[in-house]
Structures are given as C-alpha cells and as structure tokens.
Amino acid sequence: MALSVGIVGLPNVGKSTLFNALSNAGAEAANYAFCTIEPNHGIVPVPDKRLDELVRVIEPKSTVQTTVEFVDIAGLVAGASKGEGLGNQFLAHIRSVDAIAHVVRCFVDDNIQHVANKVDPLDDIETIDTELILRDIQSLEKRLERARKQAKSGDKTEKLALELCPRIIEAMNEGKSARELEFTDAEVEILEALDLLTAKPVFYVANVSEDQLGDGLEDPLVKRVVDYVSPKGAQVVVISANIEAEIAALDPDERAEFLADVGLEEAGLNKLIRTAYELLELITYFTAGEKECRAWTIRRGTKAPGAAGVIHTDFERGFIKAEVIAWDLLVELGSEAAAKAAGKLRIEGKEYVVSDGDVMHFRFNV
C-alpha cells in the first residue's frame, strides 16, 4: 500500500537529519533555514520481530519486509499560510501525505540556530498548528462561498456545507484542528473533498540530545510536549536524531554494541516507524514458506479477500478460502505441516476479518 508520512517542523529542528537516518537517502542537512526545499522521499522497512521469528524457524530463501514512505518537507515559519518563507510549497506538500510526523526541537545547542532564537517546543508546535489551521480556514471559506451560490438550487449537499463550514471555521478560530471535531458520515464526505491539513493524523517526535535520552518522556522539555498533546490523543516518540544518524551509519553487527553503549534497547527509529504505521491504522499479515517469508500491509478491518488482493487482484477476484494461523503458534509448532497435523490451521471464508499477525495462505480460482 502506497501510504506516506510527512516529516514536518520548523527549520533546524532536525527533520533532515532524522530523514537521513530513516532512509539513508542523503538529504542535505545544514545549519540554515530552508535547507530542504523540494521534499525528499524515502521508502523505509517496518521492523517486525514477528517476521524475524518466522524467518528463524522457517529459514526461507528470501525475506521481504513491509514498508512506509517518509517525506522530508521544507521547514515552515510563521506566516506560511500567507506565503511567507516556503509556505505555499510546504503546505501543498503536506496535503499529499497520509499522516504527519511533527518533529519538535527539545534540545538546547547554541551552535544550532533556531528561527525564533529560543527553544520553546510548545511555541514551535503552536506556530505550525496555527499555520495549518489558517490554511484550512482559507479552504473552508472558499467552499462556503460555493455553497452559498449553489444551495439556492435546493441541493442537499450544498445546504449541509452551508451549515458545516461556518461551524468548523468557528472552532478553528478557537484553535481546534479538524481531527479534534466530530462529524456525521455526510459531513465527512464533504470534508474529504477539501483534504483539510488539520484532519490528517499526527504524532510528535521530540528530538533531544544524547544526554537527555535517559530521561525519555520525563525530560522537562519533552514532558511539556507530552502534557500538551496527550489530551488530544497524540503520541510522542523521543529520539536523538544525531544518535540515530550514527546508528544508521554503522554496520548491522556493530549496532547492538553501540545501542548498549548509549543505553538503548533498540534504535529509536524502530519505534518511530512502528508509531507511524499504527497511526495510519495499518496491520500486518504474513505469507510464510521455504521460498519466501513476507509481511503485507493492510488497513485494520480488512476482510480476507481484500487482504488477498494486496498480493494480486486475481487472488481477490477468485478468492475461495484462506488457511490461517497466528504467527506465534506457527513459530511454536515449527512449520505449516506441523500446524496442519495438530489441527491448528483454520479455514476462513470471505467474511473473515484479518487479525494483526495472521499467517495466511490463499486458495483462489480465476
């Protein structure tokens, strides 16, 4: 599934350094504003210990992880909604992604310039939130003007838009984002066409120094972010972008020792990637055999034929049944043959809703 997460934030908060660590794509990172102009794209594998366990037991010839696309977007400044800095480009690029990873500077370093000449993570968050809200208000005002003209014909959708847009604009003028509001199904249809920036799911990446890593979410600057965004249902991932860049540059067999030296159980990027994956309401199912063990991405709530269609449209069109076993049970039993012998391989039909971690084999006929 082609799903993407935009990495956003003010200039010089560590976005491009983080992106480089994520993707090794070589995005330029420098100590001046607007270093990133055109967005950089990187396809990043989703770390999954379940797949590792399946590979350990089955020993396939090849392994394929599922992926998420990350997009490094130019830094935003106050006034972006009116075209300040690279505002128009920034906002257009956000519109193209499915979710937002908002990088917030939570470290103090006099050698790295801050556009506001102070380190205040809540001010930084509010700056970006305000610009996204202002751009959404512009979109809603244009939609409202169209509704005013067309509602006179008696069109039900336009009449609903005529009532809906002012209500959202009023809430946004109070500082609320679209994702904090509740809508009916009919209202959602209207809003989907607008693709509001503040409707996109978001999580926050607190970029800290190495010295702050040990405190995690309890670091004073990070805790301010957590206390601010948690009531809105958003998650915070603590990362040192510089440390993650060092980890990414190491050979795989050197990483474990480095992580131990800095007091980490795993790279912070792993948690960031998983958080992004979960934020998009994605789950993973597996296909496992001697030729290949592979992870597949689907939306939570997908039924078996839809999951089969991710592999090939013929699988969905000619779906007959699916043989299913939980990944941990397959690891315990050691093989599909052993699972069949133990009567643990279930047969599921078209209405089966796939669970996260299912190992599946599809039967189809076209």
96 labelled ligand-binding: no
Compute the distance between CA of residue 12 and CA of residue 91 in angstroms, rounded to an integer: 18
13 labelled ligand-binding: yes
Residues 106, 112, 113: CA angle, nearest 5 degrees: 95
23 labelled ligand-binding: no
Task: Tell me which DSSP letter residue 209 carries.
Answer: -
Task: Tell me which DSSP letter residue 303 carries.
Answer: B
What count of other Cβ atoms lies within 10 Å of the Cβ of residue 98?
Answer: 19
Q: Give percent helix, percent strand, percent coil of the chain, each to the nearest 5.
A: 50, 20, 30
Terminal C-alpha separation, the chain: 23
CA 212, distance to chain mean position in Å, is 24
Task: Tell me which DSSP letter residue 178 carries.
Answer: G
Structure tokens at 41: 């794209």
Compute the distance between CA of residue 181 and CA of residue 299 in angstroms, rounded to an integer: 23
14 labelled ligand-binding: yes
Compute the distance between CA of residue 72 and CA of residue 238 in angstroms, rounded to an integer: 18
What are the residue ranges of helices labelled H in 117-251?
Answer: 121-150, 156-173, 185-194, 220-229, 241-249
Task: Tell me which DSSP letter residue 196 carries.
Answer: -
- Enumerate the known binding-site residues: 12-17
Please enumerate, by residue number, every residue annotated as part of a binding site for ATP.
Answer: 12-17
